[in-house]
Structure 1
Amino acid sequence: MTTTSERAQGRPAPQASPRVSQSVFDGSRLRVVLLVDVYDGAQQQFLEAYEQLCHQVASVPGHVSDQLCQSIENPSQWLITSEWESAPPFLAWVNSEEHVRMVEPLHSCVRDTRSLRFHVVRETGGPALGDERRLQSMPRIGDGVIRHALTFTVKPGSEEQVKKILADYASPEPRVDDSTRLCRTSLFMHGNRVVRAVEVKGDLLAALRHVARQPEVRAVEEAINPYLEQDRDLDDPESARMFFTRAALPAVHHVTAEQGDTQVERHALYYPARPGQGMRLAEVLARQDAAAADDPHGPVLRSTIFQRDDIVVRLIDVRGALDTAVPAPFLGLAEPGQVAELTTFPDADPTRVLEAARMDLVTDRRSPDA
């Protein structure tokens, strides 16, 4: 038995910092597992839709292979596994409008889906391969918290009404089930853009479904409906699904420099990326946050980067207040050239960029035992 690891020839995979508990930027291969529950009697329709889809996916940059499997116990249960050169090309595709259109034929025959994404850490059963088969160099040590965000825009001129609605609702029940609970919800606005970041212990999908069923949350969602730039009907499952699909803002990197500091403030920064530069901008921020985490006197204790297309949001927990007199550690972009190259900020001066990127806190709520 041969285990492929760093014995593989070619450039070694980047070493993962022990302070980084989540990152899509280490260059290792990605395995995506999609669990699918097909409507009774729709198996042939599902197979035909998949065969059309797999031919389209084969031409997506970064895609390596995929398999379709059917349960030997329940013919309504299917499994799609795919391999990708690394996480960034998969995320660029799965979060694109192209993907939304591509999977549309599946909707009429699928009751439910669940997507899981894994970096490949070790591999057995074959010879060590070259650089194109890189593996994650070491396991990541997390804190048991899953981080996710949603973002959407409201009609210009409605920002103050929306802020009031989003700030005044009653918090939902944090306990989802015996293994899942809501830990924290942080909601920010930047102009007419809303970002809602959630932290969950346990099953993220179960937590999101739990929140959507809570009357307090449902009332808020209905109240902001008239102000949304993208129309939605929460009573129409397809309309709601499309809205939240487009609103998803995945976490692509999380680093923790230190635990236990009680004087902590939470801030969010919005970085408008130049067209096509969102993933690269997120990677630059991630690399600099990972390096800064080794500074025991650094002001940023934790950082989570969320990215979708050219929308990049960085959530940071800092010691004390955000110090605009020393902006670089808070901004995460060390060089003015990076600001000019990767963002659409009109001024590359770090102080003014920090002020322009800073989002307004609407509400930050923790469950009692978080």
Structure 2
Amino acid sequence: MTTTLSERVSQSAFDGSMLRVVLLMDLHEGAQQQFFEAYEQLRHDIAAVPGHLGDQLCQSFENPSQWLITSEWESAPQYLAWVNSERHVEQVRPLGACARTMRPLQFTVLRETGKRYEEAALPTRGRLQPAPRLGAGIVRHALTFTVKPGSEKQVADLLSSYASPASQVDEHTRLCRTSLFMHGNRVVRTVEVQGDLVAALRHVSQQPEVRAVEEAINPYLEQSRDLSDHESARMFFMRAAVPAVHHIAATGREPAEVTRHALFYPAKPGCGPALAKFLSRQDEA
């Protein structure tokens, strides 16, 4: 199969661009006052987080139960440092209790237009990309979690023994491959997708064989989870999700069989984002 470069914009979480985060929520009936109180507490807490620039609370005028919280951040690593912390988990828990559904979305800011931006002296303006980067439209998503020491072999056998799900998700989305890595008792699972990442992850999670394996490894996890419980599942994915990365370029002939390798970099405490940024720039170059 020959892979050709398609006209698709590809993003990186580590290029220093400004980030806009959107949280879509559908509230439980009668939960508005509780929601306001939770939001007021959260916005005061988040104001002190490094990299946070501001936020907005919006309500749909078509459906009063639908709410939107948007926030702007100086860069993705600053947001990710907060959102992947246990502090964040505790801070957003009261907000999640008010909602039937919550869906967070993250967007890199590519352009700013309009009078408000022209007059504002934003320190992040220099971080806007001079030109979009093009890639093959392939996104790699990863989850990482730890298992109880001594259970590594059982977990590896479970995670590598089930049949792969169908690769074609819909007419726009294809599951390219999945990979599994282990270092000690830490598991890293990656999924490569061409098209809609969310649709592909939903497709994988709905497969009976995948669901059975997830249930089978639950007793071995260091941090318990219940994927049948919405709140427990949300907290698990919040902790386990690694920033999705785009393939900037894909040229030449792809071999029929691909062997995946992993390099483990034990970064100094507090240096993980800097190392990830450095490595992403090396790969892009």
Q: If the length of structure 2 is used for normalisation, what is the TM-score?
A: 0.86
The unaligned stretches of length 5 or more in structure 2 are: 1-6
Task: Judge conservation of contact 1:119–1:136 (CA < 8 Å) in 2.
Answer: no
Code of the aligned partner of 1:281: L
Q: How many residues align?
A: 274
Measure, in 1, the Cα distance between the counterparts of 2:270 and 2:42: 25
1:256: which partner in 2? 249
1:220: which partner in 2? 213
1:162-217 residue CA offsets vs partner (Å, 9 max, x unmatched)? 22111111223444445444332111111221111012233323332332222101
Measure, in 1, the Cα distance between the counterparts of 2:251 and 2:212: 38
Q: Does 1:109 align with 2:98?
A: yes
Measure, in 1, the Cα distance between the counterparts of 2:9 and 2:264: 21
Measure, in 1, the Cα distance between the counterparts of 2:63 and 2:238: 28
Q: Does 1:163 align with 2:156?
A: yes
Q: 2:266 aligns with which of 272, 292, 304?
A: 272
Q: Does 1:132 align with 2:121?
A: no
Measure, in 2, the Cα distance between the counterparts of 1:113 and 1:94: 14
The unaligned stretches of length 5 or more in structure 1 are: 1-17, 292-370
Q: Does 1:63 align with 2:56?
A: no
1:151: which partner in 2? 144
2:109: which partner in 1? 120
Q: If the length of structure 1 is used for normalisation, what is the TM-score?
A: 0.68
The DSSP-based 3-state class of the residue aligned with 2:244 is strand
CA RMSD of aligned residues (A): 2.4
Measure, in 2, the Cα distance between the counterparts of 1:254 and 1:179: 17
Measure, in 1, the Cα distance between the counterparts of 2:111 and 2:78: 21
Q: CA deviation at 1:131?
A: 4.5
The DSSP-based 3-state class of the residue aligned with 2:16 is coil
2:75: which partner in 1? 86
Q: CA 1:141 to 1:228, structure 2 compared with 1: closer, same or farther past 3 Å?
A: same
The DSSP-based 3-state class of the residue aligned with 1:122 is coil
Code of the aligned partner of 1:81: T
Note the 1:1-370 alignment, pairs <5 A: 21-126=10-115, 127=118, 129=121, 131-134=123-126, 135-252=128-245, 254-256=247-249, 258-262=251-255, 264-291=258-285
1:110-153 residue CA offsets vs partner (Å, 9 max, x unmatched)? 11122222222222223364653232221122322222101111
Measure, in 2, the Cα distance between the counterparts of 1:20 and 1:272: 31
Code of the aligned partner of 1:89: Q
Task: Judge conservation of contact 2:147–2:220 (CA < 8 Å) in 1.
Answer: yes
Measure, in 2, the Cα distance between the counterparts of 1:163 and 1:121: 41
Q: CA 1:40 to 1:142, structure 2 compared with 1: closer, same or farther past 3 Å?
A: farther
Between 1 and 2, higher relative CO (CA 8 Å, sep ≥ 6) is seen in: 2
1:282-312 residue CA offsets vs partner (Å, 9 max, x unmatched)? 1121222223xxxxxxxxxxxxxxxxxxxxx
Measure, in 2, the Cα distance between the counterparts of 1:140 and 1:210: 28
Task: Judge conservation of contact 1:166–1:220 (CA < 8 Å) in 2.
Answer: yes
Q: CA 1:233 to 1:177, structure 2 compared with 1: closer, same or farther past 3 Å?
A: same
1:296: which partner in 2? none
The DSSP-based 3-state class of the residue aligned with 1:31 is strand
Q: Which has the higher strand share?
A: 1
% identity of equivalent residues: 70
Code of the aligned partner of 1:109: C
Code of the aligned partner of 2:149: P
Q: CA 1:119 to 1:156, structure 2 compared with 1: closer, same or farther past 3 Å?
A: same
The DSSP-based 3-state class of the residue aligned with 2:262 is strand
Structure number with larger C-alpha Rg: 1
Q: CA deviation at 1:254?
A: 4.1
1:305-350 residue CA offsets vs partner (Å, 9 max, x unmatched)? xxxxxxxxxxxxxxxxxxxxxxxxxxxxxxxxxxxxxxxxxxxxxx
